[in-house]
Amino acid sequence: MKREIKHATVVITGASSGIGRAIALEFAREQAHLILAARNEENLMEITQECQRLGAKAIAVPTDTTDLSAMQKLAQTAFEQFDNKIDVWVNNAGIGTVGAFTETPLESHVQVVRTNLLGYMNGCYAVLPFFKDQGHGVVINLNSLGAWIPLPYASGYSASKFGLLGFMEALRGELANQADIHICDLYPVSVDTPGFQHAGNYTGSTLKPVPPLIAPEVVAKHAVALARSPKAQTTLGWPTYFARVGYTLFPKLSRNLVGQMFREYFQIGSPSPVTEGHIFESHRERGRVSDGHLKTQDRLSSSGLGLKPAVTAGGAALLALAFGTGIYFATRKP
């Protein structure tokens, strides 16, 4: 049975930019009641007003997802604000740091894990008591291709995404007797968001998303679809399927190949200063959904996202081709 989205109470973290901003707008078009959370208060107010202009009820609650007490306050605010219920909770806030493990400050790795894994745990810890009391609810988690294959030079990010996969599987086991409480995970391929500009970068090379890309709006539509018809795992983009298959069949080959490709990527990319990015505090740029790469890069069409390729050994070769082609187009000079 499909769930009604109109007037559903929906909490979204990381709502001020990128995928979270796109998800907020998509739910606003469905006339959901929105509680939007992010660190950047100015950008958060802007997206809240934009959702209100679309006819949705929306409030902004500046929140640091790494702070459990703040997340519990967010959940309580959502519950009290709209009809004493929470229908959907979207864990979306995320960050990344790229660089060799020992050449990147350990605290940067820790902050990535704190945000991408513990932040999601905080969200679930805050909202699940409400779901259990009311007997229903949907948690939607933004994971990534990085949950299926290790990403050398993004070891903290890999740890957070692999950990998130395990955490959500464990939660599903605990909630198996709660028929109407659902844990839903989204695993998109590279998405055209400003996230690469905000990441910590210890490579000495400019970071760009590796095509093929999908638009944040595509991810947002799938998030709303999960709120309406929940399912455990949704994979977006054929490289994500092949990453999962390739690493399952040939783990050593897959991880070594990806590591070598990233080394070449850093060597041929344009020079860039070392920076911790905005992983410890919010950026000051105006919030936006995308970063404009889809204008010049290869992309995946949304019409092909539901296609599930055959699980064969050829998937590993296609995975290598996908990464190799992506790095070539991401780093070639105009």
Which residues are identified as catalytic? 157
CA 182/CA 168 separation, integer angstroms: 10
In the chain, the DSSP E strands lie at 9-13, 33-37, 57-60, 88-91, 97-98, 137-142, 181-188, 200-201, 233-236
Distances (CA, A) of 267 to 258, 272, 297, 304: 14, 11, 20, 33
Contact status, residue 323 vs residue 298, Cβ threshold 8 Å: no
CA 313/CA 334 separation, integer angstroms: 35
Instruction: Indicate left, alpha or beta for 261 from its phi (over 0: left) and psi (-120 to 50: alpha).
Output: alpha
Angle CA 125–128–129, to nearest 5: 95
Residue type, 73: K
The DSSP code for 73 is H
CA 191/CA 222 separation, integer angstroms: 13
Distances (CA, A) of 257 to 75, 92, 241, 250: 43, 29, 17, 11
CA 207/CA 275 separation, integer angstroms: 11
Distances (CA, A) of 64 to 9, 68, 173, 221: 20, 9, 28, 25
What are the φ/ψ torsions at residue 12 (nearest 5 degrees)?
Answer: -130, 120
